[in-house]
Structure 1
Amino acid sequence: MKVIKRNGEIVPFESEKIYHAITKAMSETELGVDLFMAGKIAEEIYHISKGRVEPLNIEEVQDLVENSLMDKKRFDVAKRYIIYRSERNKERNKMWEMTELQKDIYEKKYRFENESFGEFLDRVSGGNLYIRKLIQQKKFSPAGRILAHRGLNEKGKKVCYSNCFVNTPPKDNLESIFEVARDIARTYSMGGGVGFTLENLRPRGSSVNNSANETTGAVSFMDLYSLTTGLIGQSGRRGALMLALPIGHPDIEEFIDVKSDLDKVNFANISIMITDDFMRAVESDEDWKLHFQVESTGEIIEKTVSAKRLFRKIAENNWKMAEPGMLFWDRIQGYHLNSEVEYFVYSAVNPCAEKALVEDGSCLLASFNLSEYINHAFTDSATFDKESFEKDIFEVVRYMDDLLEEGIEYLPLEGHKQVARDYRQLGIGIMGIADMFIKMGIKYGDINSIIMMDDIVNLLINKSIQASSLLAKERGSYPKYSDKVLESKFLQSVAWDDTIEMVSRYGLRNSELLSIAPNGSISTMFGVSGGIEPIFALSHNRRSESLGDGEDVNYKVYSQIVRDYMEFAGITKESELPEYFVTSHDIEYQDRIKFQGIVQRNVDSAISSTVNLPNSATVEDVERIYTLAWKHNLKGITVYRDGCMREGILTIDKPKASDLELVEEDCNT
């Protein structure tokens, strides 16, 4: 005999639960508990259910309890039971407490039309009560495209659930170059952000068989893709684009300088694919060869430059313009679950660089809010609730795999659909790290924070792999799965013995599992720090074009954790905060990079991360950051110097050198 839960799941009928609910209601009345009557009602409902062809649902069971109590003249108990049902329903649909900004984000980015908060939770969770509760408790959130889009295709919307895509890069011909523009426009129109490389395009000055005689080069087409990105909106926000070029391409110097022209490539992020050989050449002050062979003609274009001078050019532009970002490509290609699988080759990264993907790859993103797993916050007995975290990981991996299956048909391009079927990529990340440390009384970046993060993220990757392996046992491995996964340096470095045993026995349902996105809007809506970032400031302004109907809107935002601690400790001044309340500008970049390196060791994909520097930072500081990041095995790094020529989305109350508008890099929210 069965009963239908609110999420549609059919489970065994349990008379004991009815009995306990009735006795609880009776205990709150003057007449008290009548065990015989409670048992009799439970038995009656059991027999009613047994006589039904179709199982009762929970609401029908509760209606029967109410009617039975009233039939037996226990109106007092019926009243308490009705109140109990109402309170439980209110609790299930209780709205988050939100500031004006948080409410703006929820209502303008994620809420569909006039749906209630309970309806929002139901839509996003898809009726999964476990996940619904995690979202309501702010312990977990799927990424923005899931929050905004799930369930809308049934209402006639053409939208997808994936935030990030790596599209097939342009081939070295005009037809392909413009086909790529068409494909990214289609991807943007359905809500996705896109990355791809320009490595196939012949460099400036190469011969072409048309009236131009020679090409304007790879960089000249960046504005085509940038303008396409600026034109195509995603629910009130521009598209998001990452353009990348290998360090060995002959146009690399022009690529590095492209953002020095404030009128060019304003709607794309740019990054360089850096090799270990290049970094070693920089260290040894050697020459560096730039090389390209035109496939159609056999023409070879080569030139030799100083590796150290090229490295300095990258650092100077980053110091001045906050771009290009650095992608340590050998580490990206060599440290993940499929690194030993010959046919698995990453093509590029998504717009915020937390996700490397194969050509036409896409990924569903989500994040755990670690700050909500702290028991006894702000006290000496504060602990991280590993038991709950472990249990939640298994449920989240299953939920994300369900979402992936549901969303494949909504992906923008046929190539996206096929690759999603073949590889089933997930990108589960974290947020609220800085808040977690404060609740524990730990300073971000010190040795205790590093030890704690290593422990937590290692737990996350092992339990995620185990959950995916159990899903493979139940549903089958992803079609392109290979036992070569067991030989990967990544798995050998981070996996426990029982994790490896499970993968060996069952395989994996998903080719990729962890990816740490910046989750800017979602972390702000939750009132916590984003990604692995420290608190940006104890208070700051936030400019968001996408919330302002085309005009910039500035909000004053005070960190929630600061308000919470002040209330707990009974203090009113920021000067009274303990020393472990540190911001991004208080943390030495050496500690910041060391911290990220430990996290990256346990993450099979990548981490979107920005090292914030004061205005006084030098070009040499940027060079040292790059070198240190490479030596600590980071997969990528971005530097933002306060007061540089490109204004960031987060600002403290200081004037900037330029009021240049930037596309909001909210590629995962």
Structure 2
Amino acid sequence: MSKDISLMEQQAKQKVKTYTFEEAYEASIKYFKGDEMAAKVWVSKYALKDSFGTIYELTPDDMHWRLAREIARIERKYPNPMSEEEVYHLLKDFKYIVPQGGPMTGIGNKFQIASLSNCFVIGNNNADSYGGIMKVDEEQVQLMKRRGGVGHDLSHIRPKGSPVLNSALTSTGVVPFMERYSNSTREVAQDGRRGALMLSISIKHPDAEKFIDAKMEQGKITGANVSVKIDDEFMRAAIEGKPYVQQYPIDSSNPKFRQEINASELWKKIVHNAWKSAEPGILFWDTIIRESVPDCYADLGYKTVSTNPCGEIPLCPYDSCRLLALNLYSYVDNPFSPQATFNFELFKKHVHAAQRMMDDIIDLELEKIDAILEKIANDPEDDEIKSVERNLWLKIRRKTIEGRRTGIGITAEGDMLAALNLRYGSDDAIDFAVEVHKSLAVEAYRSSVYTAKERGAFPIFNAQREKDNPFINRIKAEDEELYKEMTTYGRRNIALLTIAPTGTTSLMTQTTSGIEPVFMPYYKRRRKVNPNDKNVKVSFVDKVGDSWEEFNVFHHKFLVWMEVNGYNPEEVKNYTDEQLSELVQKSPYYKATSNDVDWLSKVRMQGMIQKWVDHSISVTVNLPEDITEEMVAKVYQTAWESGCKGCTVYREGSRDGVLVTNKKEKEQATSSAFPSKRPPVLECDVIRFKNSHEDWVAFVGLYDGRPYEIFTGRTEDDVLPIPKAVTKGRIIKIKDENGSRYDFQYVDKYGYTNTIGGLSHMFNKEYWNYAKLISGVLRNGMPIPDVVNLVSSLRLDNESINSWIAGVERSLRRYIPDGTKAKPGKKCPECGSESLIYQEGCLTCKNCGHSKCG
């Protein structure tokens, strides 16, 4: 850590009250009226912290005052400012306006130098060279360390087998670089966090099929989401059974390479892989470009090339976006009653305020970018080393000033419709939802025009450029007077709207997420209990003799429906499953859960709402396990025909067993994966992490990208002078007169190779004996989830060894492919469900969202 950061944090800490995790957690439970999950999410992810994890806010109310102070400070720079109190009351209790992610953690945070942007896209002007590819790799890492999600496109990389003017003679194609970028994403991970990456490619690229297949191999491309950019010509060719031409360069009128393919066969491959593994996602690229307002300025550097990791913000290179959501449920007056209505007047007023606040957050982001640039200037590294990072942020700064892009969206769509007694997915519900989003679009654009009157338009605004844009013309058709004002005064922001997957945000608003329907109106949770305690109801005793109490947990707004309709929630908690089922049937949540809603109706709804969202919509179509590939194809085709900009499907259970067709194949694959004798040299990952507040390091030897051996221990116990920037190296087995030893080699920033002798002797001797045990089962091909389960079961009466075991477990988890199910019988500690899967190295419950990262 640099001296600059230490000094900054020391100054910021002066006369500032701090809290323990337990203090903030208990206070936040009261704030959220007993909702432990919401409290845990807020304290863990959004409470103001420094880089040491010290907490400076007790409840979300402290956070909302922090945000209000900073936004009001920017407001005072301009005419007719909103006061701090006005902003606070819009944010208070997550009721109306909710900044998301980066803005919530970063605004007013003087302890950390990080961007406020949720989304970035980078590029290299189609430079197909190692220099260009490495530059994108470094830019990706530099953005991720500032907590940004990153997307970039690979369509500029020449296809496999193309001639190159170097010693390789021919190009390796896109797949090796997918692995490089994926690995870089994983390297940024620290303390349970991991960067988010989207990789895309045009269907027109000759390596598109290889790109589509890349993630089907176990352990490959685990640090990235992948999406294919599909054009209208390909869709028509696939549906009509016609040939399709791929070429490189993809946009060239005189391509170097050209091949004709069977579009239907490639389409079946895309559908099959998505059916089997939930990837690739699909981006309907012609729709994205045709509808894109920023692409009216493509020749000025605003040509859209890829999207952020969740797909809701298509961006040009070096542009970024910050996200904010309006809580739609809060605009329903008399919810769940016959008198329920949507308060459009209040909603429109708040849309204006939200868009104005988003513009303020752009100014706050520019302050953050200037702080990042100042830190880069003060870093002791050579200017040559710092140049890529500095130039990256200068480009982002320019795009931020020129376009002033915003990402205003919504959450609680499902609860809003239920509160209005409309069933999600019905024609009436879809029509009403479209009306709400139309109002949001028109009023956000009106607010941007009004703000342009007071603050000036975004610098490159040109009404003539936008006159034929379909989205702008919808605004014009809806409100001719607004369009006239826009051509006169301009608009403050180049693009304004999105719908993001508001996962943790919805936990704090205690509503449904984003545009999605309710997941379940209720679910069962289990709590381990002492059977001798009084007033405890033991529901069952498990195989190992532990007693459990089982109880129902209700979706927050379903509880409101109960109360409005005369039910006592305390009594309902004791209902039988049959009684609860009958109760749900009486509610507007009946036949309106994520598994109930008709899939085709959902994508049609997405397409109709997309007409009023100038960026895009992140939504997943949940499908049952027995769905056919033909139906997946139908979902995709309907999404394209309906005007969706993208589509992602998830078939229940599709992440489990992605890579094998049966158990026998899996056994054969694992038993023959490793050589019988240890190779003399292995590639190595260096993983640093916190373990019980101690600094630990792990050296994981890899064979074909899979863990083969592991050495780990506390960093203060070793004498390893390895720079923290080193995340890769190799382990060399040496035999001499003293026996065998394992040396670690790495290349430093100056290009010198350094060797550290005897990894096996650097750590506690007790650790080494167990390391040989774990390495032995790894080398014999035991699947990583099973190795993790074995390690976690080694609980001994030795605190030091148990800490080491936790370190090994934590290190190996990151090699488990996302979507892998936990071992049978393993239950969620929050709800007791067995719906546990590994996601980004963490055990995550699909039922209640609880996550544990080792």
Which whole-Å CA distance do the structure 2 matches of 1:277 and 1:385 have between them?
43
The separation in 1 between residues aligned to 2:98 and 2:820, in whole angstroms, is: 22
The Cα shift of 1:628 comes to 0.3
Contact 2:655 2:820 in 1 (8 A): no
The residue aligned with 1:580 is: 588
Give 2:258's aligned residue. 302
SS in 1 for 2:408: strand
**Corresponding position of 2:105:** 148
Whole-Å separation in 1 of the counterparts to 2:553 and 2:820: 13
Could you say if the C-alpha distance between residues 541 and 301 of structure 1 is closer, same or farther in structure 2, counting changes exceeding 3 Å? Answer: farther
The 1:299–1:375 alpha-carbon spacing in structure 2 relative to 1, beyond 3 Å, is closer
Aligned residue pair count: 559
| Secondary structure, aligned partner of 2:227 | strand
Q: Which runs of 5+ in 2 are unaligned?
A: 1-29, 49-54, 73-83, 373-392, 526-550, 573-578, 657-817, 822-827, 850-854
User: Which aligned pairs between 1:421-460 and structure 2 lie closer than 5 A?
Assistant: 421-460=401-440
Give the Å deviation of 1:618: 1.0
SS of corresponding position for 2:211:
helix
1:197 & 1:536 partners in 2: Cα distance? 33
* Contact 2:204/2:250 (8 A) holds in 1: no
Counterpart of 2:358 (choices 384, 387, 400) is: 400
Q: Which residue of 2 aligns with 1:80?
A: none
The alpha-carbon distance between structure 1 residues 636 and 499, as it changes in their structure 2 partners (threshold 3 A), is: same
| CA apart distance, 1:194 | 0.3
1:417 equivalent among 397, 422, 427? 397
Report the equivalent of 1:562.
Answer: 558
Equivalent residue number for residue 283 of structure 1 = 239
Give 3-state SS (helix, strand or coil) of 1:640's partner.
strand
Q: RCO higher in 1 or 2 (8 Å CA, sep ≥ 6)?
A: 1
2:553 and 2:42 map into 1 onto residues whose CA distance is 16
| Matched-pair contact (CA < 8 Å) for 1:643–1:657 | no
The residue type paired with residue 643 of structure 1 is G
Amino acid at match of 1:384: F
Quickly say closer, same or farther: Cα 1:102–1:473, change in 2 above 3 A: same
Structure-1 separation of matches of 2:251 and 2:559: 61
Moved more, 483-492 or 425-434: 483-492
User: C-alpha separation between the residues in 1 aligned to 2:140 and 2:295?
Assistant: 27
1:514-572 Cα offsets, whole Å, 9 max, x none, are 01100111111211111111112234699xxxxxxxxxxxx997421222223333062
* Aligned pair partner of 2:185 in 213, 216, 229: 229
Tell me how far 1:579 sits from its aligned partner: 5.4
Q: Within 5 Å, which residues of 2 pair with 1:256-655? A: 256-293=212-249, 300-343=256-299, 344-411=302-369, 413-483=393-463, 484-494=465-475, 495-539=478-522, 558-569=554-565, 570=567, 572=572, 573-575=579-581, 576-577=583-584, 578=586, 580-581=588-589, 582-645=592-655
Structure 1 residue 654, shift from structure 2 partner = 7.7
CA–CA distance in structure 1, aligned partners of residues 484 and 192 of structure 2: 47
Shift of 1:294: 9.9
* Structure 2 counterpart of 1:461, one-letter code: A
Moved over 6 A (4+): 649-658, 662-666
Q: Distance in 2 between matches of 1:386 and 1:488?
A: 27
1:295 Cα deviation after fit: 11
Query: Contact 2:102–2:116 (CA<8 Å) still a contact in 1?
Result: yes
Secondary structure of the structure 1 residue equivalent to 2:322? strand
Secondary structure of 1:528 counterpart:
coil
User: Is the Cα contact below 8 Å between 1:486 and 1:503 reproduced in 2?
Assistant: no
The correspondence of residues 106-121 of structure 1 with structure 2, limited to 5 A, is 106-112=42-48, 113-117=55-59, 118-121=61-64
Equivalent position to 1:181, from 121, 128, 137: 137
What is the CA deviation profile of residues 407-441 of structure 1, one whole-angstrom value per residue up to 9, with x for unaligned ones? 12424622111111111100100110111111111
Matched, 1:249 2:230: no
Residues 294/591 of structure 1: CA separation in 2 closer, same or farther (3 Å cut): closer
- Alignment RMSD (CA, Å): 2.7
Please give the secondary structure, in 1, of the residue aligned with 2:206.
coil
Deviations 1:130-182 (A, max 9, x none): 23212214211011111111111x33x11111100011247311111111111
Describe the shift of the 1:661–1:351 C-alpha distance in structure 2 as closer, same or farther (beyond 3 A).
closer
The equivalent of 1:22 in structure 2 is: none
Supply the distance in 2 between the matched residues of 1:621 and 1:656 (Cα, whole angstroms): 25
Question: Aligned partner of 1:450: which letter?
Answer: I
Distance 1:660-1:348 versus aligned 2 partners, 3 A rule: closer
1:471-514 per-position Cα deviation (integer Å, ceiling 9, x unaligned): 11111111111112243211112441222122122110000110
Is the contact made by 1:197 and 1:244 (CA closer than 8 Å) also made in structure 2? yes
1:102 alignment partner in structure 2: 38
Q: Percent identity?
A: 32
Aligned to 1:75: none
| Alpha-carbon distance, 1:644 to partner | 0.4
Q: Secondary structure at the match of 2:31?
A: coil
Q: CA offset at residue 405 of structure 1? A: 1.1
Aligned to 1:51: none
TM-score, normalised to structure 1, is 0.79
Task: Look up the SS of the partner of 2:458 in the other structure.
Answer: coil
**Counterpart of 2:15?**
none
Is this contact kept in 2: 1:589–1:625, CA < 8 A? yes
Q: Give the letter for the 1:242 counterpart.
A: M
Q: Which amino acid aligns with 1:421?
A: I
Distance (Å, rounded) in 2 between the aligned partners of 1:486 and 1:129? 40
Q: Structure 2: how far apart are the matches of 1:515 and 1:593?
A: 16
Q: Structure 2 CA distance, aligned partners of 1:164 and 1:195?
A: 8
Q: Tell me: CA distance 1:99–1:660, structure 2 relative to 1, closer, same or farther (3 Å).
A: closer
Which residue in the other structure is 2:26 paired with?
none
2:156–2:249 CA contact under 8 A, matched in 1: no
CA distance in 2 between counterparts of 1:295 and 1:369 reads 42
For residue 338 of structure 1, report the CA deviation from its aligned partner: 3.8
Aligned residues of 1:98 and 1:525 also touching (Cα < 8 A) = no
Q: Distance in 2 between matches of 1:481 and 1:457?
A: 24
Which residue matches 2:383?
Answer: none
Contact 1:514–1:605 at 8 Å: present in 2 too? yes
String of CA shifts for 1:426-457, please: whole Å, max 9, x gaps: 01001101111111110001111111111111
Instruction: Quickly say closer, same or farther: Cα 1:420–1:600, change in 2 above 3 A.
Output: same
- Which consecutive residues of structure 1, in runs of 5 or more, have no partner in the other structure? 1-93, 543-554
Distance 1:165 1:507 in 2: 25
Question: 2 CA distance for matches of 1:171 and 1:253?
Answer: 22
Q: Does 1:219 align with 2:175?
A: yes
User: 1:310–1:658: structure 2 CA closer, same or farther, 3 Å change rule?
Assistant: farther
Supply the distance in 1 between the matched residues of 2:319 and 2:524 (Cα, whole angstroms). 35
Give the stretch that moved more between structures: 493-502 or 466-475: 493-502
> Given residue 190 of structure 1, which amino acid in structure 2 is its aligned partner?
R
TM-score with structure 2 length normalisation?
0.62
Q: Which residue of 2 aligns with 1:134?
A: 90
Shift of 1:622: 0.9
8 A Cα contact 1:486 1:504, kept in partner: no
Preserved CA contact (<8 Å) 1:145 1:163: yes
Q: C-alpha offsets along residues 265-295 of structure 1, whole Å, 9 cap, x if unaligned?
A: 1111000001001111112101111111499
Query: C-alpha displacement at 1:114, in angstroms?
Result: 2.8
* Cα-to-partner distance string for 1:324-372 (whole Å, 9 max, x where unaligned): 0010011101113344445231111000000011111100110001001
